[in-house]
């Protein structure tokens, strides 16, 4: 694999991910250059530490303000860490897609072959779950989300899936609007635990038709 190359890469990108939001706090996005193209690559085993840092940071940036610190800490500790992301990277049913601009992380997505949750009114034969889709703070509204979604759709087609499902916090209005724009519609709800806080998630589904879109 790309172990040797990736070792240097890995250390750099961990730092880059960690710097993500520091830049965001000081960046005037109206003056920043919007890249015409994001480079999307698949996660490899050497990315575990980088993805743990990126996952933790982007989740925290997105939701810390709306959750109790103790719930947030419990969720982050249970979900992100090199060991956890190593296992996810090794899972043949799972794939990480990482968006980069000039070698720096702009966001990531994770897909996982998994059935739609019980109680949902559709029963597709070959569904895939979009488990995570996160743009780094400074790339929100600047193309990383759409680039990752395009890549997720292409990858899901390549895996011959008949549709993509996901669940999104019903208070995450921006993400829900984004998913609707990309052809997702509501097929149910499910509870989602952040620490001890039981939240309500919308379950959304997007069929994948034969023709490219």
Catalog residues that contact ligand COA under the rule CB under 6 A: 62, 133-135, 140-141, 145-146, 168, 172-175, 177-178, 181
46 vs 184 by CB, closer to ligand COA? 184
Minimum distance from residue 136 beta carbon to ligand COA (Å): 8
46 vs 116 by CB, closer to ligand COA? 116
Is 202 strand, coil or helix? strand
Q: Residue of minimal CB distance from ligand COA?
A: 145
- Cα–Cα dist 163/159, whole Å: 11
Minimum distance from residue 167 beta carbon to ligand COA (Å): 7
- Cα–Cα dist 100/43, whole Å: 12
Is 104 strand, coil or helix? strand
Minimum distance from residue 210 beta carbon to ligand COA (Å): 26
Minimum distance from residue 178 beta carbon to ligand COA (Å): 4
- Cα–Cα dist 24/211, whole Å: 38
50 vs 165 by CB, closer to ligand COA? 165
20 vs 135 by CB, closer to ligand COA? 135
128, containing H or E segment: strand 127-135
Among left, alpha and beta (phi > 0; psi -120 to 50; other), residue 107 is left
């Amino acid at each position: 694999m790309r172990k040797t190359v990736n070792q240097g890469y890995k250390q750099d990108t961990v730092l880059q991910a960690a710097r993500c939001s520091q830049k965001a706090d000081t960046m005037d996005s109206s003056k920043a250059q919007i890249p015409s193209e994001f480079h999307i690559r698949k996660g490899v085993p050497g990315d575990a530490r980088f993805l743990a840092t990126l996952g933790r940071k982007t989740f925290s940036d997105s939701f810390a303000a709306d959750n109790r610190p103790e719930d947030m800490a419990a969720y982050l500790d249970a979900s992100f860490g090199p060991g956890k992301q190593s296992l996810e990277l090794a899972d043949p049913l799972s794939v990480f897609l990482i968006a980069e601009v000039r070698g720096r992380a702009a966001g990531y997505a994770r897909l996982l072959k998994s059935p739609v949750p019980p109680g949902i009114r559709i029963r597709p034969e070959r569904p895939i779950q979009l488990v995570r889709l996160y743009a780094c703070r400074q790339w929100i509204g600047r193309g990383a989300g759409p680039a990752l979604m395009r890549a997720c759709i292409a990858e899901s087609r390549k895996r011959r899936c008949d549709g993509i499902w996901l669940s999104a916090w019903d208070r995450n209005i921006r993400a829900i609007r984004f998913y609707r724009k990309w052809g997702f519609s509501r097929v149910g709800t499910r509870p989602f635990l952040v620490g001890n806080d039981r939240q309500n998630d919308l379950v959304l589904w997007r069929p994948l038709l034969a023709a490219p879109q």
